[in-house]
């Protein structure tokens, strides 16, 4: 009693405070414990490009890694059926700033960020701006 049988999970249920929201912007706050995703939406009402942040979700790193897997799979399946999702060149990730302090970890982190950006841009079929 009290043990879950494999494959016998109930389907997810919406909680009382469940909300469905729209976001076209996401920011990230990383700590040793978890990752916070902060969602927002572009607002042009003031005549300026302003991102109005409205929702934050914090999750442990294991959940973030699983989410990255499922998110990538869903994007790949969407593109398989609908063709590539094109990213406007103005929205491409900026070139990472070189580290201010020299250490092995900082150098490796910078190199990883540069390679990840170049791979992402190459997947878009565009040249590096």
Contacts of 45 (CB under 8 A, 6+ apart): none
pLDDT value for 89: 87
pLDDT score for 113: 97
pLDDT score at 72: 96
Determine the pLDDT at residue 42.
96
Q: Which residue stretches of the chain have pLDDT < 50? A: none
C-alpha 61/C-alpha 35 separation (Å) is 6
Which residue pairs from 74-83 have beta carbons closer than 8 angstroms and sit at least 24 positions apart in sequence? none
Residue 112: what pLDDT?
97
Range of the domain at 128: 86-129
Q: Structurally, how many domains does the chain consist of?
A: 1
Does residue 74 lie in a domain region? no
Helix (H, G, I), strand (E, B) or coil at 81: helix
**Within a domain: residue 117?**
yes
Q: Using one digit for the tens of pLDDT, what is the confidence trace for 50-79? A: 999 999 999 999 999 999 999 999 999 999
Residue 105 domain flag: yes
């Amino acid at each position: 009693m009290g043990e879950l049988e494999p494959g016998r999970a109930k389907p997810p249920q919406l909680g009382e405070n469940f909300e469905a929201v729209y976001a076209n912007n996401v920011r990230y706050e990383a700590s040793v414990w978890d990752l916070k995703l902060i969602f927002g939406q572009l607002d042009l009402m003031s005549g300026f490009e302003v991102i109005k942040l409205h929702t934050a979700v914090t999750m442990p790193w294991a959940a973030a890694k699983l989410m990255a897997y499922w998110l990538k799979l869903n994007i790949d399946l969407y593109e398989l059926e609908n063709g590539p999702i094109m990213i406007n060149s103005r929205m491409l990730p900026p070139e990472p700033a070189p580290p201010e302090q020299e250490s092995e970890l900082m150098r490796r982190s910078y190199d990883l960020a540069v390679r990840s950006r170049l791979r992402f841009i190459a997947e878009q079929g565009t040249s590096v701006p």
